[in-house]
Amino acid sequence: MSSVTTKTREPEASFSATSLAKLRHKPWYKSDAFRRLVMCVLLGVLFTIMTGEQAGDDVFYSLNDSLTNWPWLGTWVAVAVGIWALITFHSYLLGNPALSPVHKVIKDATAEVKKVTPVLGRREVKWPLIIALVVVLALLPTWVSGFWNQVMVNEIAVYVLLAIGLNVVVGWAGLLDLGFIAFFAIGAYSAAYWTGKLPVSPPVELTPFLVIPVAVLTCLVAGVLLGAPTLRLRGDYLAIVTLGFHEIIYLLATNADEFTNGPAGVQGVPHPTLDLGFWSYEWTTTDLEQYWWMIMVIAGILIFLFLRLEHSKVGRAWTAIREDEVAAAANGVNTVKYKLMAFAIGASTSGIAGVVMASKVQFVSPASFELMFSVLVLAYVIFGGMGSIWGVMLGTAFLAWLPQILKDYVDEQDRHMYLGAILVIMMIFRPQGLIPSRRRKRELNLAKEGLGDADAMTEPVGGRVS
């Protein structure tokens, strides 16, 4: 766009521009365009490495292979340079972007979407849509193959449950919880313990459904015990303490053989049963739909409860704390209490997911609770748009489904690498996520102008001098 205006400028103007440039003494290698070119070429090389071979026994194998694979390297670098050229010379290459047909199509499309969104929010449109969606989701397992049924229950549904819980902590309260999977583990081990499958036997044996309230309680207590002291401190300490807590739980699960049976894990956690006296039902390994429906019901209940919370005084208090902790406290909001509430609610949701997972796969072992899973759920929540339940669910479903689709093309071990990259890229270009919540988007915009915090990372006010 700027180049268009330069072309039409008067000669004097361009003369003064060049003399200004001379005055600034900016050599060519310091120009933005050149720096961008270097960046793009480096990115091209990076992509070559990222998509290259897995390492062999020799440390240099993968590196050598990637960097001598000329066609592949050349393609990536060419793409990178092409993108650079597009960014730098787009006005020469495409003409004025405001006039290009592509731009017009995008503009029209966004205008259409903007027209549709308020209609979707209307009560008489919204509810039928939600009901239709639920019906489609409920029928989904009867349409897809056995493999996808597995994926839906094991990968997607459990993670959606976890993401709904983490969203309360990260999205609504603005706290960073890196030990979320620790509570998942507590839930799963509770299930194993109370059904009598651990080396230590419980006072009474319960069925998995009855374990859920017990696990919720356990996780609530654990969450409060962990959160109460740390939430009084600066918010980013919580991240590291939860990380530490996760590792303690993980190491306990791995090493305390006499209680947890160590790395081998425990088997035979029973399937849930429902006995209402006049009607009873038992879940089995074979009918996966039943699990899908069970998780749908649990998720539905949680969403209903959490949305109520979000649109009540609790949700407003969370927003207030995120935006300006000092002002919130000065108006009587007990900031520590509300943070703790969010933290404990998230923890207990994770616990529920743990019980469900344990009784579904009938097997609990430390390998399911590695730190990576905490980061995974976090990535899902952020990708979807923290703060918006629908965004979070969609983001989780999408990111959990993607690796299964790409399974034949991308090595599964590379998954974490791409996840890390997604986190960074999202934070740089779209911190609000796929489907952002309205409040959060506004907050991020305000923060950009230097107003408000948009998270709960500052220290709770009061009580310290100097």
What minimum distance in Å lies between the beta carbon of 112 and another protein?
25
Q: For another protein, which residue of 166, 333, 364, 394 counts as binding (CB under 8 A)?
A: 333
Q: What's the min distance (Å) between Cβ of 242 and another protein?
A: 10
Token pair, residue 286, equals 């074979």
Within positions 151 to 170, which residues make up the interface with another protein, using CB under 8 A? 170
* Residues from 87 through 116 that contact another protein (CB under 8 A): none
Name the minimum Å distance from CB 185 to another protein: 15
Under the binding rule (CB under 8 A), the answer on residue 126 touching another protein is no
**Which region, judged by CB under 8 A, interacts with another protein, from 100-108, 184-192, 352-360, 426-434?**
426-434
Q: Per rule CB under 8 A, is residue 274 in the interface with another protein?
A: no
Q: Closer to another protein at the Cβ: 153 or 222?
A: 222
Say if residues 219 and 283 touch (Cβ distance below 8 Å): no
CA–CA dist 171, 206 (Å, integer): 34
Distance from C-alpha of 93 to C-alpha of 344, rounded to nearest angstrom: 55
Tokens of 148: 């996808």
Alpha helix stretches (DSSP H) within 324-405? 325-330, 335-361, 371-384, 389-405
* Residue 424 binds another protein (CB under 8 A): yes
3-class DSSP assignment, residue 395? helix
Q: Where in 352-381 is the site for another protein (CB under 8 A)? A: 371, 375, 378-379
φ, ψ for residue 282 (rounded to 5)?
Answer: -125, 130
Q: Are 385 and 248 in contact (CB under 8 A)?
A: no
**Restricting to residues 20-49, which ones interact with another protein according to CB under 8 A?**
49
Instruction: Please say whether the beta carbons of 184 and 346 come within 8 A.
Output: no
Shorter beta-carbon distance to another protein: residue 204 or 465: 465
Q: What is the smallest separation between the CB atom of 37 and another protein, expressed in angstroms?
A: 15
Closer CB to another protein, residue 360 or residue 440? 440
Interaction residues for another protein, span 227-266 (CB under 8 A): 229-230, 232-237, 239-241, 243-245, 247-248, 251-252, 254-255
Q: Does 217 bind another protein (CB under 8 A)?
A: no
Task: By CB under 8 A, tell whether 413 contacts another protein.
Answer: yes
Applying CB under 8 A, which part among 52-60, 106-114, 211-219, 358-366 lies near another protein? 52-60
Q: Is 305 in the site for another protein (CB under 8 A)?
A: yes
- Binding segment for another protein among 100-108, 203-211, 401-409, 448-456 (CB under 8 A)? 448-456
The count of other CB atoms within 10 Å of the CB of residue 18 is 9
Burial 419-450 (b: 16+ CB within 10 A, else e): beeeeeebeeeebbbbbbbebbbbbbeebeee
Determine the Cα angle at 23 with ends 20 and 27, to 5°. Answer: 100
Identify the residue among 63, 138, 210, 435 touching another protein (CB under 8 A).
63
- In angstroms, the CA 234 to CA 464 distance is 12
Residue 56 found at the interface with another protein (CB under 8 A): yes
Nearer of residues 120 and 425 to another protein, judged by Cβ: 425
Residues in the interface with another protein (CB under 8 A) total 107
**Dist. CA 450–CA 443, nearest whole Å:** 10
C-beta closer to another protein: residue 140 or 329: 329
Is residue 274 classed as helix, strand or coil in its secondary structure? strand
Q: How far apart are the first and last CA of the chain?
A: 51
The amino acid at residue 425 is I
Structure tokens belonging to residue 22? 């001379």
